[in-house]
Structure 1
Amino acid sequence: MNNVKTFSSKQDIHKQACEWISRFDRGLSEGEDQAFSDWVNLSSFHRQSLFSVAQTWDELSVLNELSSLFPLRDNHVRNTKISLNRKVMGIAASVIFVIVSSFAWLTHPEFMTGTVDPSIVALNAETSVGEQRVISLADGSVIHLNTDSLVSINFSDALRNVHLLRGEAHFEVAHDETRPFIVKAATNTVTAVGTAFNVQLTNAEQFELLVTDGKVLVKNKTDDLAKVSIDNRSQTLDGSGELMIAGQKALISQQAIQPVTLTQQQVQNDLAWQQGMLVFHGEPLADALQEISRYTLVNFKLADQQVRQQRVAGYFKAGDIQGLLFALENNFNIVYSKTDKQTIVLSTGK
């Protein structure tokens, strides 16, 4: 009997990881299920390589599709060996373990002992111009990313931290009093235990916050995050933070926060982007185009001040440039011309 085994080099393992990600993306065949199980269990380096490749290729869809199989707060996973069953359940367990838990092995030495908490997650998620994405997290929370957005997610056993680095996102936070859900944006943080809210970065120093359910606490992000608490008092940023409740909207910066209360219809209009729609209520065309431009690579130019100040209202499908031009021409007497494939000039019709 030949007991000699051939060991793969690091370069070979990395190449194999690339091949497995490619196969998983298109869907594993029945014959590949067990082969994937055998390969991913060969060594921790195999798992680390697969995680590295998945992160490089931005294969977060794997985690998004399978995260529902996570227990919300398992006490511990006592065996670092992946035990696969059959077909989908087996592959799901392996890929979740690789993508989520292997990051913990890389950053927390204590995880090499064989005790892994599946609620610990570290990953980035990004959308391109015109793209939207829904991310289901291991704790049951859901992030809805709008166009051209980027978030960095880092869950520990004490805190659930998310950093909105670009764009806009709506957060539906699973209730967990032991681990506050903290979103960093610009120079402040928004903290929730179980609630829903929308955050849109307007520039490097401020963001727009809309609370759609429950309540959140806004703090300067230089404060001690571990001491966050929520009560029924409205406080200032110099103290424990500013409390905002469902239906309130505010532009958040280092200055004082002045929230306004919206009607239910206004809240729905602000969240219309989740259904791929944009709603305007008489804004100047220049302002409306600034919002529309977030969803397209087309560059709009306004011929004069008159067309810039033309007020527009209505429902527009995000990214539907032809539909927008048709509506502007037929409803607002605004004509267009194209100087090239990516540039459209708008002017007042005669």
Structure 2
Amino acid sequence: MNNIRAFSNKQDIQQQACEWISRFDRGLSETEELAFAEWVNISKTHRQCLFEFAQTWDELSVLNELNTLFPLRDSHHRQTNTFSKRTNMNIAASLAFVLISCFAWLVNTQLMSSMDDPSLVVLEAETNVGEHRELSLADGSVIHLNTNSQVSIDFSDTHRDIHLIRGEAHFDVAHDEQRPFIVTAGDNTVTAVGTAFNVQITNPHELELLVTDGKVLVKNQQEINSIPTIAESLHPLDGNGELIVAGQKALINQQSIQQQTLSNEQVQSDLAWQQGMLVFHGEPLAEALQEISRYTSITFTLADEQVKQRRVAGYFKAGDIQGLLFALENNFNIVYSKRDNQTIVLSSGS
């Protein structure tokens, strides 16, 4: 029996509600009216999200049209509050935009001013749990840091060295044959000239590499300790080690480099974290929670073996714990209880 079930979280339902409201504003076709009737009857949550977003919509005609379909209680109270809610949202959005713009300008200014002298650049950057950060380097390369990650950047006029201290990062490397781009993670190195790849430290002696463009040379500890030849010094991608090309994934440790070729869909799933999403393809819940836990300080406890082996498939917003609990309860009949503020217990519903 196939127990893999895709789920829709509350974020998905809210987005769908917004799309329906925008269609109401311009008028529904006969086909859309039938589709809307089917969508709105899926669950009570669908109807609640629809009304919540309708209250903040600019056109009160939307509420009037919904009023012909569903009874709206306290409509006068909601309409009188529409303007103040909308005003507060606009002010908050404007303030957030100003703060983000100022922060981005400050970071870029500091990075560029420190890189004016190419003779020596040493920088460090890190992210907290649940945080993403993008770094634009002076050579045109871009580093995208995932949750709870840290890098040290050491640039000069002869080298570009990156040390991934913890976590995960995606590197989009600017082409420069005179200065190979070398990422060190634990006991391993990844060397590139101009390419794009993703590196995740899975434990102190092992990393997971995914090449998304071009090719890179991977060396484990044994190969790093070998003496480079003159040819290797002149052509960094021609030396000892394993060459990994776009679309390939490698698990690298001190003893071995294990490769596999991924489909385009698998590559996109592995990189979904850059859009703040996690993708599951039928993994047991216990395994999925290991990945989810990277993005939150919450600890999950699974109460029974049946819950541990329940398989899940679908998209999940990283760090959205309420969305996860909503999906588990509504799609998998898995209930939760809070042991304390940082611990959630999951068990099978009755």
When normalised by structure 1's length, the TM-score is 0.66
Aligned to 1:41: none
Aligned to 1:118: 118
The answer as to whether partners of 1:133 and 1:145 remain within 8 angstroms in 2 is yes
The answer as to whether partners of 1:316 and 1:324 remain within 8 angstroms in 2 is yes
Q: Secondary structure, in 3 states, of the residue corresponding to 1:198?
A: strand
For residues 198 and 185 of structure 2, the distance between their equivalents in structure 1, rounded to whole angstroms, comes to 11
Q: Could you list the runs of 4 or more consecutive aligned residues of structure 1 that deviate by over 4 angstroms after TM superposition?
A: 25-28
Q: Secondary structure, in 3 states, of the residue corresponding to 1:230?
A: helix
Aligned to 1:17: none
1:209 aligns with 2:216: no
Q: Secondary structure, in 3 states, of the residue corresponding to 1:283?
A: strand
For residues 199 and 205 of structure 1, the distance between their equivalents in structure 2, rounded to whole angstroms, comes to 13
Aligned to 2:272: 272
Could you tell me which of 233, 237, 240 is aligned with 1:230? Answer: 237
1:132-143 paired onto structure 2 within 5 Å: 132-143=132-143
Gaps of 5+ in 2: 1-98
The answer as to whether partners of 2:283 and 2:313 remain within 8 angstroms in 1 is yes
Residues 150-191 of structure 1 show CA distances to partners (whole Å, capped at 9, x for unaligned) of 001101221100011110000000000000000001211000
Aligned to 2:106: 62
For residues 336 and 241 of structure 2, the distance between their equivalents in structure 1, rounded to whole angstroms, comes to 48
Aligned to 1:155: 155
More helix as a share of residues: 2
The change in CA–CA distance for 1:119 and 1:322 in structure 2 (over 3 A counts) is farther
For residues 349 and 26 of structure 1, the distance between their equivalents in structure 2, rounded to whole angstroms, comes to 43
The answer as to whether partners of 2:336 and 2:347 remain within 8 angstroms in 1 is yes
1:60-139 paired onto structure 2 within 5 Å: 62-64=106-108, 67=111, 96=113, 99-100=114-115, 117-118=117-118, 120-139=120-139
Q: Secondary structure, in 3 states, of the residue corresponding to 1:62?
A: helix
When normalised by structure 2's length, the TM-score is 0.66
Residues 133-164 of structure 1 show CA distances to partners (whole Å, capped at 9, x for unaligned) of 00000000000000000001101221100011
Aligned to 1:56: none
Residues 188-241 of structure 1 show CA distances to partners (whole Å, capped at 9, x for unaligned) of 10000000000001000001100000000001353468836214xxxxxxx701
Identity %: 69
The answer as to whether partners of 2:115 and 2:138 remain within 8 angstroms in 1 is no
1:298-337 paired onto structure 2 within 5 Å: 298-337=298-337
2:213 alignment partner AA: D
Residues 50-94 of structure 1 show CA distances to partners (whole Å, capped at 9, x for unaligned) of xxxxxxxxx997343565xx6xxxxxxxxxxxxxxxxxxxxxxxx
Deviation of the 1:264 alpha carbon = 0.7
Q: Secondary structure, in 3 states, of the residue corresponding to 2:287?
A: helix
The change in CA–CA distance for 1:187 and 1:26 in structure 2 (over 3 A counts) is closer
Q: Secondary structure, in 3 states, of the residue corresponding to 2:268?
A: helix
For residues 334 and 61 of structure 1, the distance between their equivalents in structure 2, rounded to whole angstroms, comes to 45
1:62 alignment partner AA: L
1:14-53 paired onto structure 2 within 5 Å: none
The change in CA–CA distance for 1:261 and 1:287 in structure 2 (over 3 A counts) is same
Aligned residues, how many? Answer: 245
The answer as to whether partners of 1:60 and 1:125 remain within 8 angstroms in 2 is no
Deviation larger for 215-224 or 158-167: 215-224
For residues 138 and 63 of structure 1, the distance between their equivalents in structure 2, rounded to whole angstroms, comes to 13
For residues 263 and 101 of structure 2, the distance between their equivalents in structure 1, rounded to whole angstroms, comes to 45
Deviation of the 1:340 alpha carbon = 1.4
Aligned to 2:41: none
The answer as to whether partners of 2:219 and 2:240 remain within 8 angstroms in 1 is yes
Deviation of the 1:120 alpha carbon = 3.5
2:288 alignment partner AA: A
Deviation of the 1:331 alpha carbon = 1.3
Query: Which structure carries more relative contact order (alpha carbon 8 Å, separation 6+)?
Result: 2
Deviation larger for 253-262 or 193-202: 253-262
Aligned to 1:243: 243
Q: Please provide the CA RMSD for this pair.
A: 2.3
Q: Secondary structure, in 3 states, of the residue corresponding to 2:237?
A: coil
For residues 137 and 101 of structure 2, the distance between their equivalents in structure 1, rounded to whole angstroms, comes to 22
Deviation of the 1:303 alpha carbon = 0.6
Deviation of the 1:308 alpha carbon = 1.1
The answer as to whether partners of 2:220 and 2:252 remain within 8 angstroms in 1 is no
The answer as to whether partners of 1:190 and 1:217 remain within 8 angstroms in 2 is yes
For residues 310 and 249 of structure 2, the distance between their equivalents in structure 1, rounded to whole angstroms, comes to 26
Aligned to 2:13: none
